[in-house]
């Protein structure tokens, strides 16, 4: 008989018992996080033994609230966001039992950082046109190619990787999905300096990198379907971040408006009101989307959230620079830094304005996401695609 999933009261009781056995004030951070995973309080909706208890996803907030009130440490989710939001759900759905046991715990506790080797210089918006090759060699694969826009590659131990394994098939059908060890010979990471002066992105060169077949996720040639799970979760992770009311990019603008009346003008007031309302609508829509996730995997609706996130961030940061005038152009550090995560609200207005320009590119360009929403959410006719059934090797590049 299948055991009954714990309800909110049971999860609260388990969390309180866990805190009594592992007091945050006297338990080391690594030990606390590892014990939390083993107790099933990491992802409560994951299976038992893999950080969860098979509970509804919506009940994660019950655990998180109890732990936060007790001053428990978190796993620094901004630093390991790619692992949490993209690698983990893909491994859970397509990984073998051995892969789940090997990767999920060190991923969640933050022992191992992950990055994403998807985009290429010639395959960004049209990701399925990628040219990185993986050739079978005994019990493994030899990978050659170049990836680009790879966040956290300079920190990562592991990468989720898609590569072409059959150039004779149409582009969507000859791709396979792998887990790549970023410390292996042949993996070279080079920084890409951004308009902010930082280099959170990288380009990655793969030269005769050997990937064991045991690190393949899904079937050979089924990588595009596996990658869709990653991409849908990525867009929810980027655009569906849980925020308090007046949280995110709108917070520093509203605060400056209240605290510095000398900056106010009628025109900026009307724009701020409009953007404040839109930010609140986006926040509530994100809450509804997360409730829908309780019933299953994220769908194309996450693309709509990510579209809104990008547009609002760019418009709000532009308004902030206008509000602050010359002060809004100040930016304290143009040196080449290698940050561990993006910090939108803890930096200057000038940084927010520049960094927000990338929001309409990362995680899928806004143009591509508009097509996804049009076709998969609204049911509009798809654009003509003349290369859909053409072998990848015959495509013009």
Dist CA 105 CA 334 (whole Å)? 37
Dist CA 372 CA 341 (whole Å)? 28
Residue 38 contacts residue 89 (beta carbons within 8 Å): no
Dist CA 342 CA 21 (whole Å)? 35
Dist CA 193 CA 197 (whole Å)? 6
- Token couple for 223: 């990588």
Dist CA 232 CA 241 (whole Å)? 14
- Return the closest-CA partner of residue 387 out of 229, 98, 163, 173: 173
Sign of CA dihedral 388, 364, 235, 275: negative
Dist CA 50 CA 123 (whole Å)? 34
The catalytically annotated residue of 66, 234, 301, 348 is: 234
Residue 390 CB-half CA count within 13 A:
10
Could you tell me which residues come within 8 angstroms of residue 98 by beta carbon, excluding any fewer than 6 positions away?
Answer: 214
Dist CA 75 CA 81 (whole Å)? 10
234 catalytic per annotation: yes
Q: Are strands 158-164 and 114-117 parallel, antiparallel or unpaired?
A: parallel
DSSP labels, 257-303: HHH-GGG--HHHHHHHHHHHHHHHHHHHHHHHHHHHHTTSS--THHH
Q: Name the H helices within the chain.
A: 8-21, 29-38, 60-69, 81-82, 88-94, 97-109, 223-239, 250-259, 266-293, 301-324, 349-355, 366-372
Give catalytic residues, as residue numbers. Answer: 234
């Amino acid at each position: 008989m299948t055991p009954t999933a714990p309800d909110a009261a049971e999860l609260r009781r388990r969390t309180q018992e866990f805190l009594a056995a592992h007091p945050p004030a006297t338990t080391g951070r690594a030990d606390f996080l590892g014990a939390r995973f083993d107790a099933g309080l990491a992802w409560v909706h994951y299976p038992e033994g893999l950080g969860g208890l098979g509970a509804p996803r919506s009940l994660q907030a019950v655990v998180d609230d109890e732990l936060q009130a007790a001053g428990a440490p978190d796993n620094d989710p901004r630093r390991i966001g790619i692992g949490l939001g993209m690698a983990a759900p893909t491994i859970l759905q397509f990984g073998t039992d051995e892969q789940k046991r090997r990767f999920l715990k060190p991923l969640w506790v933050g022992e191992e950082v992950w990055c994403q080797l998807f985009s290429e210089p010639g395959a960004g918006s049209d990701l399925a046109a990628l040219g990185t090759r993986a050739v079978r060699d005994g019990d493994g694969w030899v990978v050659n190619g170049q990836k680009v826009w790879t966040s956290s590659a300079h920190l990562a131990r592991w990468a989720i990787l898609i590569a072409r394994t059959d150039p004779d098939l149409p582009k969507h059908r000859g791709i396979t999905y792998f887990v790549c060890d970023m410390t292996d010979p042949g993996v070279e990471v080079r920084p890409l300096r951004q308009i902010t002066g930082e280099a959170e992105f990288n380009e990655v060169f793969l030269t005769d990198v050997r990937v064991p077949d045991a690190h393949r996720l899904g079937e050979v040639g089924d990588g595009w379907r596996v990658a869709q799970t990653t991409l849908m979760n990525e867009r929810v992770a980027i655009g569906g971040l849980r925020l308090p009311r007046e949280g995110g990019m709108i917070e520093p603008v509203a605060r400056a408006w209240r605290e510095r009346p000398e900056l106010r003008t009628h025109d900026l007031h009307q724009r701020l009101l409009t953007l404040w309302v839109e930010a609140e609508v986006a926040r509530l829509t994100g809450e509804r989307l997360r409730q829908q996730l309780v019933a299953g995997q994220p769908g194309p609706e996450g693309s709509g959230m990510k579209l809104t996130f990008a547009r609002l961030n760019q418009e709000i940061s532009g308004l902030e620079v206008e509000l602050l005038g010359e002060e809004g152009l100040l930016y304290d550090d143009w040196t080449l830094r290698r940050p561990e995560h993006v910090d939108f609200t803890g930096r200057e207005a000038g940084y927010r304005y520049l960094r927000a320009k990338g929001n309409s590119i990362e995680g899928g360009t806004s143009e591509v996401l508009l097509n996804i929403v049009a076709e998969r959410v609204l049911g509009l006719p798809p654009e003509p695609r003349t290369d859909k059934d053409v072998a990848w090797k015959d495509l013009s590049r």
